[in-house]
Structure 1
Amino acid sequence: EAQFTLSNITGYRITPRFDFSDSNEPCHDVTLLINGEKIYVNKGLLSCHSPVFKAMFYGEFIEKNMKEIEMKDIDHKEFVDLLNLIYPSGDKLTDANSKPLLKLADRFQIKMILDQAEQFLFHSTKLDVSSKLELSDQYRLVKLQDHCLDKLKTIKDIKNLKLTDGYK
């Protein structure tokens, strides 16, 4: 028989999850309305990451004094995914969410996510060179574009690229 006493226990840290649909969550000061659903967010945090949100919340726009702002042409789930990358939730880009989040990051000029997406796509094995090249051109991802162009070593590689759907 053995007997022992634990004086200090360490474990793993659980990453906080934010419920953007809960108005009782602390630290929100504006409501975004997306497809009829309310999302509670913090102006300051979004403004730190996005000059678009900074202009909207603190510039000379009507949204500056609004408590609820309707956002058009945005998918609710994709926007929540974007928020989970901005807020300290520990979420990461995936093959499933990288394209829509890249589009939103570009729309709101969120450099942090654009950089993350570029790195993710740089190492992704799910997309071919032509798809990556198309995204790099569309979203001005210079490092990714250079990486893709470096992959084109022969005339045959270039001819094959011309045969893809993404080639224009």
Structure 2
Amino acid sequence: MTNSAIEFKSRSHNVNGNTNVLETSAKNGVACVWSATMGDSRQIDLSWKFNWDKLESQGVDKITGFIYVSSIFNRLTATRIYVELSENNQEITKQVDGGSTSYTVYYECSLIPHYKNPDYEEMFASSDQNDSILVVDGKKLHVCKVFLSYHSEYFRALFSSNYKEGQMDEIPIGEVSYEDFALLLSTFYPNPAFPNDSTVEKLLEMGRRFLVSSAVSSAEHHLISNNSLIDNEKMMQLADEYGMSKLLLMCIRKINTVEDAKKWKKSQTYEHLSAETKLKVYERLMEFI
């Protein structure tokens, strides 16, 4: 899944010999403190201190992108700065030469979060605890029939002696990518991996297709938690589509005013909600009248 860019655009600030911290911004789980000082040689020392603990808790391994620094009237040469943030690098610094005692500067920033890639080959390697092999996209996943059957009616039927697949040494699984299928299994087998905003929608789709209710429950738990940065409109759509009642209730409770409810009724998302969920939104609206 493609990760959306996190974008900042600062206000314009005057930088002179007395400035330090210029602005603090926060967006989509990333906070940034922008500072600028002017040296004796009239060069500007710029710094951006980032805090992305919330994204790291979701499984983000690093963040990359660019910062573009400009000045009013182009008194300072426009500068592009490469950004790569990791656990051990939370600050970006840049010195820009100039010849004036004062500049009015601003910046734009575009950052891409990169999620950690699980080692599926190690996760589903052959071992004496596994007794079956699933083949997806030509790749083999060594699994335990009993464990998968416990979590899914689909696998229970697949491994049944009533089906020819149950008698096969290697069972092919078609019309699904290796990464998507391994993502599904990794949520409960062998050591559960928790969903994040980048994987939760695909996990819901896979959980429904392969009848893994625990995957849907795990996705709902993530969306209800404070770690998710998905907006309320998208959450309600997912809650309605995949029957996540707790999440749906939370989303409806976030409609706190008549204006919120009217905005909802005009949204494209509302038009695609089920009649039952539309009724609940309407009942929420009635509470404010």
1:135 Cα deviation after fit: 0.6
TM-score by length of 2: 0.48
Give the aligned partner of residue 127 of structure 2.
25
Give the aligned partner of residue 153 of structure 1.
256
1:19 Cα deviation after fit: 2.1
Residue 182 (structure 2) pairs with residue 80 (structure 1): yes
State which of 183, 201, 226 in structure 2 corresponds to 1:99: 201
In the alignment, the residues of structure 2 paired with residue 119 and residue 56 of structure 1 have an alpha-carbon distance, to the nearest angstrom, of: 28
Give the aligned partner of residue 116 of structure 1.
218
In the alignment, the residues of structure 2 paired with residue 50 and residue 101 of structure 1 have an alpha-carbon distance, to the nearest angstrom, of: 14
Q: Deviations over 1:14-39 (max 9, x none)?
A: xxx972553x3222222211112121
In the alignment, the residues of structure 2 paired with residue 62 and residue 133 of structure 1 have an alpha-carbon distance, to the nearest angstrom, of: 41
- Report how many aligned residue pairs link the two structures: 151
In the alignment, the residues of structure 2 paired with residue 90 and residue 53 of structure 1 have an alpha-carbon distance, to the nearest angstrom, of: 18
Preserved CA contact (<8 Å) 1:47 1:53: yes
Q: Deviations over 1:39-76 (max 9, x none)?
A: 11111110011111111112622212122222122221
Q: What is the Cα-based RMSD across aligned positions, in Å? A: 2.1
Where structure 2 has 5 or more consecutive residues not aligned to the other structure, the ranges are 1-119, 273-289
- Which structure has the highest strand share of the two? 2
Distance 1:147 1:59, change over 3 A: farther
In the alignment, the residues of structure 2 paired with residue 147 and residue 65 of structure 1 have an alpha-carbon distance, to the nearest angstrom, of: 46
State which of 169, 177, 183 in structure 2 corresponds to 1:67: 169
Preserved CA contact (<8 Å) 2:222 2:228: no
Preserved CA contact (<8 Å) 1:55 1:61: yes
Q: Secondary structure at the match of 2:187?
A: helix
Distance 1:76 1:151, change over 3 A: same
Higher relative contact order (CA 8 A, sep 6+): 1
Preserved CA contact (<8 Å) 1:30 1:41: yes
In the alignment, the residues of structure 1 paired with residue 250 and residue 162 of structure 2 have an alpha-carbon distance, to the nearest angstrom, of: 41
Preserved CA contact (<8 Å) 1:19 1:25: no
Give the aligned partner of residue 150 of structure 2.
48
Preserved CA contact (<8 Å) 1:32 1:40: yes
Which amino acid counterpart does residue 161 of structure 1 have in structure 2? W
Preserved CA contact (<8 Å) 2:196 2:228: no
Give the aligned partner of residue 12 of structure 1.
none
Residue 231 (structure 2) pairs with residue 132 (structure 1): no
Name which of structure 1's ranges 128-137 and 118-127 shifts more when overlaid on structure 2: 118-127
Preserved CA contact (<8 Å) 1:18 1:89: no
The structure that has the greater radius of gyration is: 2
In the alignment, the residues of structure 2 paired with residue 49 and residue 83 of structure 1 have an alpha-carbon distance, to the nearest angstrom, of: 10
Which amino acid counterpart does residue 79 of structure 1 have in structure 2? F
Where structure 1 has 5 or more consecutive residues not aligned to the other structure, the ranges are 1-16
Identical amino acids, percent of aligned pairs: 28
Distance 1:35 1:162, change over 3 A: farther
TM-score by length of 1: 0.79
State which of 137, 141, 144 in structure 1 corresponds to 2:247: 144
